[in-house]
Chain A
């Protein structure tokens, strides 16, 4: 069976694959060791709906409409009037020459011609790469694409590709503030990984048009509000590390057949929706299918994967030490299960050969606790 058919079967009858965007692609890199997630993402399974159907609805992915409105407002402001604010920043900070004030909006209200829009973006950027710097400066909303598990995924980024001398840069506009030159590190990391998706996709586009992909810089320009104002400010962010992580995960997904081979025959995450789109598949049956694919739950999943509460539930049932944190597992000598750890500590369990050393440490820990804390332990 072809990969595509196998993935279709996983997703279920007549269900359209859930579209990816930079955020979901960025999220792919968050728990690369997890097979369950890799196959579901490759097949475009709606993890949100799946989680709800198991009785463990996702707690992530909800965006406050207030945050969304703020983000859109800031972006519109930065881009308005031919990116007047952007030009000011680029001229002041990067010495962009005055004649280079071209602004081309490659976006359209027209979603039905995605392939056509990609071609338009490609020819505009290729034309720019072919000629001197006068052939374009700012390219808003270019349509890009990336291959994920053998399928082309189109990205409609809210970003601007920017040409300076012979390099292209990704400009990412975010509405978190940079106060006195410092931004929240978590926000910056998230922006960096998303931008790296665009860098990679823009490189693909240039390569596709027969140009050197390395024309795209591995530094991106992050534009954020300055201090407490609405004025934008710009900073370079190096995304080399993120690119490496992303490439590795995409390569892993390209090799999805290997992972699919490891699944039991006939497994599917089909929710068998009724006429109203409500799942008719029983929660138990669905959970059974999910469990047939290996997972690797860790607390980080809580902020990265829609299935986290389902997987956490299983991890707790298994008394998993990793559910308490990856470092906890390490510090317990790599013991997988909390009951084993405690039994080794209290000495009620005789360690197997591989756990002798861990058992010694755990016994010492237990002895110290009882000796010192006594009643409190």
Chain B
């Protein structure tokens, strides 16, 4: 085998191969492009190898004391008390927790939880599960909930997104109110949330927990009854029609039924 290339040469080779890929893509020669991509991956692997070699004297990543992702997400959902989307969870994490949580870490969370539930049902104190659509009882897109919540809180009706937004705003405000010296990130988050609620913030960038709570409660009272009726009806239906796993992870969609059949 020839001498391994130095890192500068590898950098140069990588740039060259990328130019070749662009040419192939422009000419719509996809076979050539995919050959080149294989080559590129090999070069990049070498590049990482060469870099590690150069750095081997330097110590590795500092160990971290973070909670496992599912624990962190559980804490955040418990704080918000409503089903939430990954981007919301990441935003709350950034405001209140140390360390980093990337949206990509949440991608397979629900799928893994479902697998775990199906192999050993009720084996854990809680599962991170789905919210259910009020009409079809399928998993609502992109929302994560906690299995120990009452079922109607995991139902998404037509007003639920708004109601949950207001509820979580109240929870956030309460949490910040209890915190001794809230971080600027937390205050910014509160202001961002408040901006979406009429009369919740006094001026640009300024939101006080008490006024957020008051304003959110006021709007909540407008929607709450209608929302509750819709949710509870759907929850009753779900308990009647769905098995345990479906109640947590949603009724199967049509295509899933077809694939299984």
Q: Do A and B share a direct contact in the complex (Cβ within 8 angstroms)?
A: yes
Q: Which residues of A contact B (CB under 8 A)?
A: 49, 52, 57, 76-77, 80-85, 87-88, 91, 98-99, 101-105, 107-113, 116, 134, 136, 276
> Considering the chains assembled together, what is the distance between the CA atoms of A105 and B85 in angstroms?
14
Interface 1/0s, chain B 26-42, versus A by CB < 8 A? 11100100000000000
A88 touching B195 in the complex, CB below 8 Å, given contacts A57-B28, A82-B162, A112-B254: yes
Contact of B87 among A80, A87, A113 (CB under 8 A): A80
A98:B88 contact, CB within 8 angstroms? no
Interchain CB contact under 8 A, B255 and A98 = no
- Chain B binding site: helix, strand, loop or mixed by DSSP? helix
B223 engages A101 (CB within 8 Å): yes
Contacts of B160 in A (CB 8 A): 82
Could you say which of B85, B138, B158 contacts A81, with CB atoms under 8 Å apart? B85
Whether the Cβ atoms of B196 and A104 lie closer than 8 Å is: no
Q: With the chains together, A98 CA to B255 CA distance in Å?
A: 38
Q: Flag if B161 contacts A103 (CB, 8 Å).
A: yes
Q: Distance (Å) between the CB of A322 and the closest chain B CB? A: 27
Partner of B196, one of A52, A85, A105, A107: A85
- Cα A109 to Cα B254 with chains together (Å): 10
Task: Name the distance in Å between B35's Cβ and chain A's nearest Cβ.
Answer: 14
A-B contact count (CB 8 A): 71
Contacts of A82 in B (CB 8 A): 160-162, 164-165
Chain B residues whose C-beta falls within 8 Å of the C-beta of A80 in the assembled complex: 85, 87-88
**Per a CB cutoff under 8 Å, which of A91, A99, A107 touches B198?**
A91
The answer to whether A87 and B159 touch (CB under 8 A), given A109-B141, A109-B253, is no
Q: How far is the CA of A29 from the CA of B38 in the complex (A)?
A: 41
In the assembly, what is the distance between CA of A104 and CA of B158, in Å? 5
How far, in angstroms, from A57 to B25 measured CA to CA in the complex? Answer: 10
Which 5 pairs, one residue from A and one from B, show the smallest C-beta to C-beta distance? Answer: A82-B161, A101-B162, A52-B28, A102-B158, A84-B196
Complexed CA–CA distance, A103 and B160 (Å): 8
A8 to B160, CA, bound (A): 47
A102-B158, A112-B255 in contact; A57/B27 too (CB < 8 A)?
Answer: yes
> How many Å lie between the Cα of A213 and that of B256 in the bound state?
35
Determine which of A84, A110, A112, A113 lies in contact with B165 in the assembled complex, contact meaning CB atoms within 8 Å: A84
By beta carbon, the residue of chain B nearest A51 is B28
Give the residues in chain B near A105, CB-CB below 8 Å: 133, 140-141
- CB atoms of B222 and A99 under 8 A apart: yes
| Chain B residues at the A interface, C-beta cutoff of 8 Å | 26-28, 31, 85, 87-88, 133, 138, 140-141, 158-162, 164-165, 195-196, 198, 219, 222-223, 226, 253-255, 258
A81 contacts across to B, CB distance below 8 A? 85, 88, 161, 164-165, 196
- CB-defined A-B contacts under 8 Å, sample of 27: A49-B28, A57-B26, A57-B27, A57-B28, A77-B87, A81-B164, A81-B196, A82-B165, A84-B162, A84-B196, A88-B196, A91-B198, A98-B219, A99-B223, A101-B159, A101-B223, A102-B162, A103-B158, A103-B162, A105-B141, A108-B138, A108-B253, A110-B253, A110-B255, A134-B226, A136-B158, A276-B31
A116:B254 contact, CB within 8 angstroms: yes
Q: Say yes or no: B161 contacts A113, CB within 8 Å.
A: no
| Cα distance, A269 to B166, chains bound together (Å) | 57
Shortest beta-carbon distance from B213 to chain A in Å? 17
Closest B residue by C-beta to A136: B158
Nearest CB in chain A to that of B138: its residue: A108
From residue A173, how far is it (CB to closest CB) to chain B in Å?
16
Closest chain-A Cβ to B198's Cβ sits at a distance in Å of 7
Shortest Cβ distance from B161 into A: residue: A82
Interchain CA distance A81-B216 in the complex, whole Å = 14
Docked complex Cα distance between A110 and B88 (Å): 24
Give the Cβ gap from A98 to chain B, nearest Cβ, in Å.
5
**Once the chains are docked, how many angstroms separate the CA of A82 from the CA of B219?**
15
Tell me the nearest residue of chain A to B259, going by C-beta. Answer: A112
B contact residues around A84 at 8 Å (CB):
161-162, 165, 196
The interface residues of chain B lying within 8 Å CB-to-CB of A108 are: 138, 141, 253
Nearest Cβ on chain A to B226's Cβ, whole angstroms:
8
A83 touches B161 (CB 8 A): yes
Q: Which A residues lie within 8 Å of B223 (CB)?
A: 99, 101
C-alpha gap A275/B258 in the complex (Å): 28
Please give the distance in Å from B258's CB to the nearest CB on chain A. 7
Question: Which B residues are in CB contact (< 8 Å) with A112?
Answer: 254-255, 258
On chain B, the residues within 8 Å of A76 by CB distance are 87
- Chain A residues contacting B28 (CB-CB under 8 Å) are 49, 52, 57
Question: CA of A98 to CA of B216 in the docked complex: distance in angstroms?
Answer: 12
* Separation of A77 and B198 alpha carbons in the complex (Å): 19
Among A52, A76, A109, max chain B CB count under 10 A is at A109
CB distance from B171 to the nearest CB of A (A): 13
State whether A113 touches B26 (Cβ < 8 A).
no
> CA–CA, A276 to B133, complex, Å?
42
CA distance A99 to B224 in the complex (A): 10
In the assembled complex, the Cα of A276 lies from the Cα of B29 at a distance in Å of 13
Question: Which residue of A81, A107, A110, A113 has the most chain B CB atoms within 10 A of its CB atom?
Answer: A81
Q: In the assembled complex, how far is the CB of residue A77 from the closest CB belonging to chain B, in whole angstroms?
A: 8
Q: A85 to B31: give the CA distance in the assembly, Å.
A: 45
Minimum CB–CB distance from B33 to chain A (whole Å) comes to 13
Inter-chain pairs besides A80-B88, A109-B253, A111-B255, 16 sampled, C-beta below 8 Å: A52-B28, A80-B87, A81-B161, A82-B161, A82-B164, A84-B162, A84-B196, A98-B222, A101-B223, A102-B158, A102-B162, A103-B162, A105-B141, A108-B253, A116-B254, A134-B226
